[in-house]
Chain A
């Protein structure tokens, strides 16, 4: 096959493949590219900005590579040929400085973006944050609302436009708490608390799930995050209040490894988040956490 045929075939194949992929993903959701949450949107913007910055270098390099690969093929005897040329201070200086500069710009973007989107940082809002305590269980999610005194399994209710402060732990192997449409994830680990702030500007149902493999029925560890108006949220709380209590007895059956099971509600919370953390802290130690870390023992 002639090289030009290879190129034509490759081009046609790539276009066909792209069309096929577009067809197959038609109507599917892209929570990372079109997120709903304010944090997710900022993270998406950062992602897009990073890609553009890289393309400034990558596109010329690809064009250069294609040109060199084609022009200096053996068959093209018209092309220049300098078999012993091996060194050029100027050119090498340029090769080092191009990636250096782009990385410098990216570093600045990274530094500011990382601080701005620090999951620990409270979100700016006129409303005070709502605290939700998240417990990863095998293989289900428990959400405790300490201010409201209710809890639920595999259903997360959130008032629209109000920042939410998640405090996350696990009573299970390590999991990761992730609602792609709202924003990035955070690990859930036994005996300690990690923190994540998210906010849903509009009402809607979003899929959340564990992103870190945690055992056999890991694939079932998904839940629905339901962003709703304040009045709907109040109604949701009132309805949850009707349910049984989250006693240490109900909790012990909940923590037994099992399928996700149905959505459940608890009208009061006797087994608190602190109690769950304490399961792993028989000798409470106040370890000073390593520099820059945010792990807290108790809320």
Chain B
């Protein structure tokens, strides 16, 4: 419990939950890329996930817990950090930090807002029920037609824009977050830190391109129903 009041202790929670969330992001990206195989790819993938039954719920609750801890401590630490400099500089020049590092709380909150929208959209079918699973007919093999739902959604420019904007926030968050988490976990030294900064940025860019390629391909008509 003392750990949850300590400076390093709470940072470790941020880092451990951040690492798990990065893992989730990567797995999610791999899963989503099954859309490039076509309806057969992503509908089979969705069917497979739902066949896991109660495991899906275990997974969802764990993920929610990780997300909750990450957000709670993220906000708490950010508030403490801004309180630590009550009078600001007239002129301050940063030398080493990055835009991503300076905007962690904003990109984090943007991701949170996006996750809420994303769940309302594709999981709960609240925002666009007319083109969602449940209203759409099942596919030829009697599965939920996730493929058609995604394609019809991203053909709407506005929806694609929301997703692309959120992925910019994720890009910035991870461009700092990945190297930061390894430093927090104490796994870096003077030599490996600059290398991990490059790896972190590279992973962030790959995740960005991976996710954004889906709405872009659909808008360009490369993937269509």
A binds B: no
Chain A residues within CB distance 8 Å of chain B: none
Chain B residues within CB distance 8 Å of chain A: none
